[in-house]
Amino acid sequence: KIVITDCSWGSYDVEKQHLPKDAEVVCTQILTEEEVIETCKGAVATLSEYAPFTRRVLEQLPDLKIIANSAMGVDNIDLDAAKELGIAVTNVPDYCFDEVAEHAMALILSTLRNIPGYNEKVRKEKKWDFADAPKLYRINGMTMGLIGCGRIPRKAAVMAKGFGMKLVGYDPYLPKEVAEEFGIEMMPMERLAEVSDVILSHVPLMPSTEKMVGKNLFDHVKKQPIFVNTSRGGTVDHDALCDALESGAVRAAALDVVDEEPANFASRIFKYDNVIFTPHAAFYSETALEEVRRRSAENVTHFLAG
């Protein structure tokens, strides 16, 4: 018995193709601890995303051998308890790297070319006037600053290079050889602020990175850069960003993530016309969803096969 615990798409066609042929597959959507205990009784494996596997739940599922999360993270699972009870946990850490990098570049290009602004003028005001817009500049030759130079921003960096952008970065933990391989000139955050026309912030959210991008960055910008965040809203001090937008130090921003999600539309960041938003959508594509479902099913099959 294998339970798909977060079957929000309603069918399990993808999973079924990649799970053991003789498995009894239960496809459901369960959210409470009680529901998980009840539904997963007797199951050897689950494919999950949000269903809570707390210690209490795990202790009541003696047949369970593997929780294959169909996600990047594993924060729905008590990992210590799983380890103690001998239950394997897998995830699919990289299924949407392409999408997030592509989305970051889409936000950068949309902002630099004023695509949402022009579209609104044409559609809502029926104005066909290129000059009725913020001043635009050539992207070829601009400098892009990467705060956090992990796998996703490095993919964006390769794309940005194709547009003729120069790359600089701030990431105290990035090996020198990796920076060299990607042609990223590493420097302190203040210096990055001074030289960048585009700043892509991509640090993961951890206690040490909470609100780590704030006045320390925005107070040093010199070229009225645009600021883009596709990582986690909690890494950016939104008040400091709003101040920088208000003073004009930052020309515009593009945010896929904000500090409160689902969004609180009363918050200050939503007051500025020169900020474009997408609703934490960077990871999403049908290709990515198919991949995460297929690979978590494969994780179960490979594990059960030893």
Q: Which residues are catalytic?
A: 232, 261, 280
Residue 116 to residue 110: CA distance in whole angstroms? 7
Helix (H/G/I), strand (E/B), else coil: 232: coil
Cβ closest to ligand NAD, residue 39 vs residue 143: 143
Instruction: Please provide the DSSP assignment of 136-181 as one string.
Output: ---STT-EEEEES--HHHHHHHHHHHHTT-EEEEE-TTS-HHHHHH
Shortest Å, Cβ 147 to ligand NAD: 6
What is the DSSP code string of 9-58?
TS--HHHHHHS-TT--EEE-B--SHHHHHHHHTT-SEEEESSS-B-HHHH
Burial (0-12, 13-18, 19+ Cβ within 10 Å), 101:
buried
* Beta bridge mates, 238: none
Q: Which is nearer to ligand NAD, 256 or 291 (CB)?
A: 256
- In the bound state with ligand NAD, the residue whose beta carbon lies nearer, of 112 and 179, is 179
No. of helices (H) and no. of strands (E), the chain:
12, 12
Helix (H, G, I), strand (E, B) or coil at 252: strand
User: Residues interacting with ligand NAD, by CB under 6 A?
Assistant: 72, 96, 100, 148-153, 170-174, 202-205, 208-209, 212, 230-232, 256-257, 280, 282-283
**Residue 141: closest CA among 165, 161, 158, 118:** 165
CB of 172 to ligand NAD, least distance (A): 6
Q: Tokens at residue 157, please?
A: 């960096």
Q: How far is the CB of 94 from ligand NAD (least distance, A)?
A: 7
The residue (of 44 and 226) whose beta carbon lies closer to ligand NAD is 226
Between residues 134 and 204, which has the closer beta carbon with respect to ligand NAD? 204
Least distance (Å) from ligand NAD to the CB of residue 95?
Answer: 9
CA distance 43 to 300: 12
Q: How far apart are CA 280 and CA 59, in angstroms?
A: 34
Q: How far is the CB of 108 from ligand NAD (least distance, A)?
A: 14
Least separation, in Å, of the C-beta of 16 and ligand NAD? 26
Closer by beta carbon to ligand NAD, 211 or else 280: 280
Cα gap 287→284, rounded to integer Å = 8
